[in-house]
Chain A
Amino acid sequence: METLQFAYDNISLIGSRALEHISIVAVAVSIAVLTGVPIGLAITQSKRAADLVLYLASMLITVPSIALFGLMIPLLSPLGYGIGYVPAVIAVILYSQLPIIRNTYTAIADVDPALREAGIGMGMSPLQRLRQVEIPLAIPVIMAGIRTAVVMNIGVTAIAAYIGAGGLGTFISRGISQTDPRQLITGAVAVSILAIVVDLSLAFVQKLLTPKGLATGVAA
């Protein structure tokens, strides 16, 4: 009850922190899509490059987020961005690479070779094939990768409160330091709800983007 009362009293604060939270994840994942998708497409050209890139991206994701934030303080401090919004966005960009690159690569590599052959045999250039055939067919899988990145990084961003990035994690960190379960629970529940709502919205976007002729989207 106390927690509900707390949440009710601070509803506008929850709203503004949720917006901060979303802004970090949205900006970072958008940048990650702009880097990850082209990388995923590029590495379909070479098995060795693909193995190397996917290996590096997997290593990145094993670094605990709190350690990554810690590492960035000395690296970014000389530029004046040791803590706050910028390192949080950078961390999320890095964590998003694996699901986005991996899904893009897998989706393109899994396009039926017969379709590729038909495209080449009819005189499509590699770019025409990519645009008309391979990317449309890969969209459900790429979108699934983006959803994974977003949901995962809503969690990562909660921890970014410790480096002063704001967001819903602030409730959690204050709840812990002030031993105030009301703030702690409010923050945790809000992060969970945010993750669920965003995932469902993206599932809807995925459905819209999936070409009509394809079977229902593929899970990640």
Chain B
Amino acid sequence: MIRLENLTKVFGMPGSGITAVDRVSFDLPAGEICVLLGPSGCGKTTTMKMINRLIEPTSGKIFIDGKDVTHIDPIQLRRSIGYVIQQIGLFPNKTVADNICVVPDLLGWDRRKSRARAAELLEMVGLQPDLFMKRYPKELSGGQQQRVGVLRALAADPPVMLMDEPFGAIDPINREVIQDEFLRMQKTLRKTVIFVSHDLDEAVKMADKIAIFRAGRLEQFASPEHLLSNPATPFIDTFLGSDRSLKLLRLVQVADAMLTAAIVRPGDPVARARELMHNNGQPAIVMLNGEGRPSGIVAASRINGQESAGRGSTAEGRCREVAEPVRVTVPVKADLRSAVALMFTHDMPVIPCVDEDGKLQGVLTYRSIVKSLANSKIAA
């Protein structure tokens, strides 16, 4: 969908100028989000701005849908590409509706059609149209302004969007919310997005492909999983940081890493639990109630401790007598990062994984997490 071929930008005189972008090539399939990532001054924004010809390339070519952008009138080209900037740039003299409809109005859409479109878009991000259409930007919170900024880029339903650190000016909590919102919209909209960011976490979260830039050169173009597990150069390795395997956690779903749970019933003898632990090497066994929901945890540390304390009689009792309450469970759709956070916070060596009804689907242990990370490296 978007193809760059040896794209180069030299600012100043050729030969003596500064090479901001140096022979960058990549091919982004339709419907994917590509995050251009790198330290400031690495050429990522310049690369993005060449796509809608805010900056003209020194050499190289850009194709959108097979068409060379230099053969398209820049004004027509820009109207066909959604554009979101970090400073949002809502026009303070225009209402929210008029801001969203800037491009439809430039394209000469019927007014009723464009306003209906604005209302529909506002609805999508949970802003009530009858409340917000007639407001002015200064009457909105920062998060609301940023949403309107994104809607404005979506208004004419362009297949391609350019987003220049679009969520950079928002506080971290709202940023997460808006990122999730955008990803949810993207699931149905399937835009081809070029997204500039300097935030690795954001890139890992948003991207189908990450393009890492350094001093004007494209160092690696790969999926986040591939990038985190196989950094192509020492620079990328450093850039990703020593915690890159932790970042990988975010990309794996609990459902893909959990183990089949060995279970006990409250009435089972403790010996049964000990036997299961011995067989599968897990540090604890989940106890299930009649509805298939976890009702307790039988931990090895607990029954073994009792044994060494010489209270063999309890150890030979029933599981319900030694089980600890289930302090926390994790949904199978969550990512491993939140699962690990829960395990740390609640000091749980084994965490039950449940479906939407709270029924047990499997368990996560530290070892299963490490193993699934190792597997994703091999797969990637």
Contact = CB atoms under 8 A, between A and B. Distances in A.
A214 B75 contact: no
Contacts of B80: 123
A123 B138 contact: no
Nearest to B88: A114
A122 interface: yes
Interface in A123-152: 123-125, 128, 132-133, 136-137
Contacts of B153: 122
B79 A122 contact: yes
A213 B137 contact: yes
Interface residues of A, number: 22
A136 B91 CA distance: 10
Contacts of B280: none
Given A114-B85, A122-B83, A128-B106, A213 B95 contact: yes
Nearest to A133: B91
A153 to B, nearest CB: 29
Nearest to B90: A118
Contacts of B137: 213
A123 B93 contact: no
A212 interface: yes
A120 interface: yes
A213 to B, nearest CB: 3
B42 interface: no
A211 B85 contact: no
Contacts of B87: 112, 114, 117
A215 interface: yes
A178 to B, nearest CB: 54
B244 interface: no
A64 interface: no
A79 B215 CA distance: 69
B10 to A, nearest CB: 22
Given A123-B75, A124-B106, A213-B95, A118 B138 contact: no
B76 A123 contact: yes
Nearest to A118: B89
Question: For A114, A125, A137, A213, which residue has the most chain B Cβ atoms within 10 angstroms?
Answer: A213
B102 A214 contact: no
A121 interface: yes
A215 B137 CA distance: 11
Interface in B143-195: 152-153, 162
B93 A136 contact: yes
Contacts of B106: 122-124, 128
A68 B77 CA distance: 54
Contacts of B85: 114, 117-118, 121
Interface in A95-133: 112, 114-115, 117-125, 128, 132-133
A135 to B, nearest CB: 9
Interface string B223-234: 000000000000
A197 B202 CA distance: 58
Interface string A205-216: 000000111110
Contacts of B89: 112, 114-115, 117-119
Nearest to B136: A213
A70 B27 CA distance: 74
Contacts of B91: 115, 118-119, 132-133, 213
B93 A214 contact: yes
A201 to B, nearest CB: 23
Interface of B: 52, 54, 75-80, 83, 85, 87-95, 102-103, 106, 136-138, 152-153, 162
Given A118-B90, A128-B106, 18 more contacts: A114-B87, A117-B54, A118-B85, A121-B78, A121-B83, A121-B162, A122-B79, A122-B83, A122-B102, A123-B77, A124-B75, A137-B92, A212-B93, A212-B136, A213-B93, A213-B137, A213-B138, A215-B138
